[in-house]
């Protein structure tokens, strides 16, 4: 266990659905991240939050909407996704955004039909 | 753009042998490097990291070597075990606070 949990672990949704991914870290960290992992591609950074403030939006489409209510919780709200959005979505945390060592959760496997 | 790549997409080793996974990085300004292990169905797991002021760092059964002259990073696993079977990623920071990941090398351990 890395101290970072994600729910749900698997999600199947239609293109018109709205769903949310949840991440929680129990490490006392102040920075949290969303990554997308697609087959045969490097991890793609989506969003960075540092002390609850969004510090990075890596040109992510607006159908992905992050929310960070506190330093321990991070959400990714999904709306009108496309089949190409099917991927493993990984959450990570680090002491703060200046600390490079990131600890990952198990991910949510998302399938968009 | 920046890139981090791996020489071998798949590495097969016999149980008990040593494994060496290689990584080439492109940004000479990178001063932090990290290796992750990702098993099937799981998220990446931190293995070991190294800063550019070092050329070698050892952990439990793992050693990371950094050659800044040729921008090369390697992960050595001693006495490879079946539980070491996974995809291994290297990442660099590009002298920023964000990690840039490679595509990964799959390590297969056979008896």
Query: What dotted CATH number matches B4-110?
Result: 2.60.40.10
Mean pLDDT score, B16-42: 93
Q: What pLDDT does residue B6 have?
A: 42
Nearest chain B alpha carbon to A90: B43
Summarize pLDDT for A57-71 with one digit per residue, the tens: 888 999 999 999 999
Average pLDDT over residues B13-19: 97
pLDDT at A42: 87
Q: Which residues of B touch A102 (CB under 8 A)?
A: 46, 99
Structure tokens at B9: 């997409």
At B66, is the secondary structure helix, strand, or coil? strand
Query: Which of A8, A29, A43, A56 best tests the B interface by mutation, with the highest count of B CBs <10 A?
Result: A43
Query: What per-residue confidence (pLDDT) applies to A41?
Result: 83
Residues 27-86 of chain A whose Cβ lies under 8 A from any Cβ of chain B = 40-43, 45, 48, 56
pLDDT surpasses 50 at B1: no
Selected residue of A1, A42, A50, A106 to mutate for chain B interface (largest B Cβ count, 10 A) = A42
pLDDT, one tens digit per residue, over B61-94 is 999 999 999 999 999 999 999 999 999 999 998 8
DSSP string of A36-63? Answer: EE-TTS--EEEEEEETTEEEEE-S--TT
Listed by start position, the domains of chain B span 4-110
Cα B94 from chain centroid?
Answer: 16
Q: How far is CA B100 from the centre of its chain?
A: 13
């Amino acid at each position: 266990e890395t101290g970072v949990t994600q729910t749900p672990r698997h999600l199947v949704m239609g293109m018109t659905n709205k769903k949310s991914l949840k991440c929680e870290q129990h490490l006392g960290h102040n920075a949290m991240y969303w990554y997308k992992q697609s087959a045969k591609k490097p991890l793609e950074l989506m969003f960075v939050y540092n002390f609850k403030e969004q510090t990075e939006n890596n040109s992510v489409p607006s159908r992905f909407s992050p929310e960070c209510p506190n330093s321990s919780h991070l959400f990714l709200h999904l709306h009108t996704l496309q089949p190409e959005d099917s991927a493993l979505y990984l959450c990570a945390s680090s002491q703060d955004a200046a600390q490079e060592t990131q600890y990952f959760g198990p991910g949510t496997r998302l399938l968009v039909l | 753009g920046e890139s981090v790549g791996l020489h071998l997409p798949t590495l097969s080793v016999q149980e008990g042998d040593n494994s060496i996974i290689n990584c080439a990085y492109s940004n000479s300004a990178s001063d932090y490097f990290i290796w992750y292990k990702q098993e099937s169905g799981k998220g990446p797991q931190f293995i070991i990291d190294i800063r550019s002021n070092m050329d070698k760092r050892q952990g439990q059964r793992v050693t990371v070597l950094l050659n800044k002259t040729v921008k090369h990073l390697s992960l050595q696993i001693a006495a490879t075990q079946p539980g070491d079977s996974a995809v291994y990623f290297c990442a660099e920071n590009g002298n920023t606070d964000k990690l840039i990941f490679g595509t990964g090398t799959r390590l297969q351990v056979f008896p």
